[in-house]
Structures are given as C-alpha cells and as structure tokens.
Amino acid sequence: MPAAAPRRYHDYLKAAFNARPAGMFVAPNWIGIGVFGLLGLLNPGFWLLGAGLEAGYLFTLANSSRFRKVVDAGDGSSSEPGEAARIAALRDVLPPQDGQRYRDFIAKCRRTAHFLPDNVALHDTLAHVSWLFLQLLHSRLTVSRLLAAASAEEQAEGTLASRLAKLEQRLSATDLHPDLRRSLEATRGIMRERLQAHSDTAAKLGYIDAELSRLEEQTSLLHDRAQLDRDAPALSSSIERVSAGITGATQWMSREKELLGDLGGSFDIPPSTAIYEAGN
C-alpha cells in the first residue's frame, strides 16, 4: 500500500477544531464557540475575546507533537494501521479468559468516564490505562507461551534441573578424557544459563500479573472516586497515582520490547479516542 501523503498544517487545525476528549459527546471547542457566541449578543466584546481564545487554542493544539502523533496514528489511510486495527489486532488473539477480563476492564472504564463527562484528565488517564492493560494482556500471552514451550520440552526430555544434576554427577568422575570434560563443562554452562533464563521469564510473568491486578484495583478506585468525590482533591490524587504507575509499566515494556515484540504502536501514547469507547 502506498504511503499517505504528508499532512498539511490545515489537517491538524481541522483535527484540533473537532477534537473530542475520550468520553465526551461534543467537542469542547464547539461548546466554547457557542458560549462566546451567545455572550457576544449581550456584549460584542466577547466575540473579540472568543476569537482570540479560539486562535490560541487551535495554534497550541495543532503544534503539539503528541497531538500530531495521535492524529497520524488514527488516520485509516495511513501506511500504519489505524487505531481500531491496532486495538483489534491485540484484542482478538487473547484467549477467552483474558478476553473477558479485558472486556470487564473496558466496561468499568466506560462507566467511570460517563460519571464525569467533562473531566479531561480522567478521560485521558482511562484511555492510557486501557491501552496499557491491553498491551500487558498481550505481553502475558507472549511470556506464557514461552514458558509453556519450555515446559513441553521438559516433559519430553526431563527437567533442566534433573538433567543438570546428572551432568554434574558425570563431571564428578576423575577419569574423564580432557576433551570430553571440556565439552561437558560447556554444556553445563549452557544449561545453567537456560535455567536462569527460565527463572527470569517466570519473574516477568509474575510482574505482568502484578501490574494487571494493580491496574484493575486503581481503576476500581477511580470508579469509586468518580462517583463519590467528583472534583475533590482525592480524585485528582488518584489520577496522579495511576499516571505514575503507567510510567513505570511503559518503561518496563520498552526495556522488554525485544521479548514482547510489536504491540501495535508506542507504549506511552494511547489511541486518540478512548480505547474504552471502541467496539469490544
């Protein structure tokens, strides 16, 4: 497929004009235009003020590198897959149990967003945490497959630990030919490295499981805060804690990118529209 033509500045201005934060049914820019339009009927000075605010808003958003990346990622005509395809590609390969876990998580995010339709910080956080949750589920599938392959090999050939013990016993003999001893020692080194690799992989699975549980608990807390506290400091504090947790998890996945493979886009940039609003 040929690459899409480079975007013009007009395209980003248009996207900024119609930008709708996750969970909002109307673009906030439209609301602002309507408000200043009505105020201008009372005092024409509000039209001038509104025009200045509108120009500043569009200029700032259209020149934001992150906003541009989000707009580019969501373009279905791009050479890169659109965000719906990115989400579906990860979601559709999940085993049934993980797929249901993901749907339950998304449903809670959607309910939380609808409690506070105008809280942009909350919506952005939910979009990001939903994207991270899906990536972690897919990462869990990748790591689980590696461990399953190692387990199948051990069932067929015996555990690495038992084979290593037999090799150690053989090396304890004093009458081994030097060439044979060197070969067996090299094999022992390889087996020890493999044991460590299996242990490291199991630890990665443990980390992923812990992060998934943490995100579920934090999202439940956001859900509770959105119902009870609304704009209270407790809600803002909860949002900040979730954001801090996102940073740690995305840094870990970036370090493990060689193991985890392609997860359909940047670890730290969520889809432009709420992933929890996508079909699932």
Q: Which two tokens stand for residue 76?
A: 């279905």
Which pLDDT tens digit goes with each residue over 53-70? 777 777 776 676 666 666
Which of 213-218's residues contact partners 24+ apart within 8 Å by CB, and which partners? Answer: 214/245, 215/105, 215/129, 215/132, 215/133, 215/136, 215/242, 215/245, 215/249, 216/105, 218/129, 218/242, 218/245
What angle (nearest 5°) sits at the alpha carbon of residue 52, between those of residues 66 and 40? 130
pLDDT at residue 212 above 90?
A: yes
pLDDT at 78: 36
- Give the rounded percent of residues in the chain with a pLDDT score beyond 70: 68
Cα 192 to its chain centre, rounded Å, is 34
Residue 121's alpha-carbon distances to 9, 23, 65, 100, 184, in angstroms, are 26, 11, 18, 27, 60
pLDDT at residue 77 above 50?
A: no
Local confidence band at 105 (pLDDT 50, 70, 90 cut-offs)? very high
Provide the residue ranges of all domains of the chain, joining segments of one domain with +.
1-80, 84-277
pLDDT at 206: 93
Local confidence band at 213 (pLDDT 50, 70, 90 cut-offs)? very high
pLDDT at residue 183 above 70?
A: yes
Which pLDDT tens digit goes with each residue over 216-260? 998 998 888 888 766 677 778 888 888 888 888 888 877 877 777
Which of 189-192's residues contact partners 24+ apart within 8 Å by CB, and which partners? Answer: 191/160, 191/163, 191/164, 191/167, 192/164
Local confidence band at 72 (pLDDT 50, 70, 90 cut-offs)? low
Mean pLDDT of 146-167: 80
Length of the chain: 280
pLDDT at residue 4 above 50?
A: no
pLDDT at 63: 73
φ, ψ of residue 54 in degrees (nearest 5): -65, -45
pLDDT at 225: 84
Sign of the Cα pseudo-torsion (233, 235, 239, 244, in order): positive
Model confidence, pTM:
0.61
pLDDT at 241: 82
pLDDT at 264: 52
pLDDT at 75: 47
